Amino acid sequence: MSDAALQGRVAVVTGGGSGIGRAIARRFARAGARVVVAGRREAAIAAVAAETHGIAVTCDVTRLDDVEALFARALAWGGSCDVFVNNAGQTGPVGALAEVDLDAWRACIEVNLFGAMHGLRVAARIMAAQGRGSIINMSSRMGLHGYPMRSAYSATKFALIGMTEAVAREVGPRGVRVNALCPGAVSGELMERVIAARAAAEGRPPEEIIRRDYTDSAALRRWLSPEEVADAALFLASDASSAVTGERIRVDCGRF
């Protein structure tokens, strides 16, 4: 795709300090976007903003006031909000539902569901008034298929698919598109922590979990990279997907 695909557009990326969010911020900047990098860790988002020549805005998505302040800052800096990547989230507790820590379960819902809803709420209002925009919700392969030991995470990502379809129909008449990306397991520190927790909970070696549940079950027989998710996000952010809305797109190396 052209490196001018987002030339001059303003993009807000939550959870932009690491992993998929950082990769998206970098890819959008290379495509000409002016990027607002949001997250809770000030040092991490500042580093990405410096690299992408954007701005960093600290934001806790569970707080609606923070989210409203984030978009107000984006509008003051860039004059519009053309793309919103609703990426902030957490992995949630790893464990069987019958025994899982309920406080951790609720905390996952607060970030991944209410936090995502806050971003959708504010972005939809702004973009509808503009008469244009693209919202990209970061769901998951686990938003399409429930996964053992990950009930909280799966529940939030299934819910985000439903919100994507609902809001796409609400704002479509105003020229705003809403889609969901559903990445599979992405290599990096986040998955390392998940696998370590699964190994402890299931009594299996990490190498066995990786081979049986991730790489060997993928048609391409490998992990997914954050950069590959970023390329898919660029497609949904750009005019190349101008007729695509209310859709969920798997990016998972063909895991079955």
Residue numbers annotated as active site? 153
Q: Extract the tokens encoding 78.
A: 């860039």
Tell me the one-letter amino acid at 147. Answer: Y
d(CA 94, CA 82): 36
d(CA 9, CA 126): 14
User: Which distant-in-sequence residues (6+ apart) come within 8 Å of 215 by Cβ?
Assistant: 221, 222, 223
- Selection from 116, 189, 124, 198 nearest residue 157 by Cα: 116
d(CA 217, CA 252): 10
Phi, psi torsion values for 224, nearest 5 degrees: -95, 145
Cα→Cα distances 240→147, 156, 167, 234, 243, Å: 32, 29, 21, 9, 8
d(CA 215, CA 209): 9
d(CA 145, CA 130): 35
For 65-115, the DSSP string reads HHHHHHHHHHHHHHS---EEEE--------S-TTT--HHHHHHHHIIIIII
